[in-house]
Amino acid sequence: MLSSNPAALRKPHSLRKINPAEAKALLDGGVAVVIDIRESDEFAREHLAGAHHVPLSGFSAADFPAEAGNIAIFHCASGARTAEAAPRILATAFAEVYQLDQGLAGWKKAGLPTIVNRSMPISLQRQVQITAGLMVLTGVILGFTVSPWFFALSGFVGAGLTFAGVSGTCAMASVLAVMPWNRRALA
C-alpha cells in the first residue's frame, strides 16, 4: 500500500478508500493521523481514539500546513460527507490521503474500538429527524381521528423541511440546539 517510489506518492485525483483494518495498522504504527470531519455534537458523542477533529462546516486545507508529508485518513459517519469533501481534502498538504471505507460505521462494523460519551445527547441532525417524524405522524393520526385540520401540521413540517433543504437553515435545529439537554452537553 505505501511506497517509497516518488511517483506512487503523488496525490490521486480522487480519495482512495482504506478499509478499517488497514487504517488501524497505519494508526497503530504511528505513520498516519485520523481526521474526523463530523460536526462537534457527533464527535463529542463518539470518536476514534486519537482522532483530530476538524468539522466539515469549518474545514479548510490551510488548517493542515504543519502536517505536510504525513499520511491522513479522513472519515465521517458513513463516508458520504468525506466523499463530498474530496476536493478540499485533496488540497491539504498531506502526502497521502485516504477515506475510511464506510466511515465510523465501517470502523464499528469491523469490531474496532471507539471512545463513547453516553452522557452526550444524540446528534442534532437525528433530533431534528425524530422531532419532524413525530410531528408528521401526529398530524396524520389526528387528521384521521380528530379533525382534517390537523393535516396542516404535517404540511407545515414538510414546508419547513423543504425550506431547510433549499436555504441551508433549519429553524427546528436552531430551537433544538437551545434545549436544556443540548446546552448542558455543550457546557
Measured in residues, the chain has a length of: 187
Contacts 24+ apart (CB under 8 A), 130-135: 131/172, 131/176, 132/157, 132/160, 132/161, 132/172
Give yes or no: 170 in active site.
no
Q: Which three cell numbers, joined as nine digits, stand for 106?
A: 465501517
Rounded to whole angstroms, how far apart are CA atoms 108 and 78?
A: 11
Residues 6+ apart with CB under 8 A from 32: 23, 26, 70, 71, 72, 73, 98
Catalytic residue among 71, 76, 128, 172: 76
CA distance 88 to 183: 31
Residues annotated as catalytic are 76
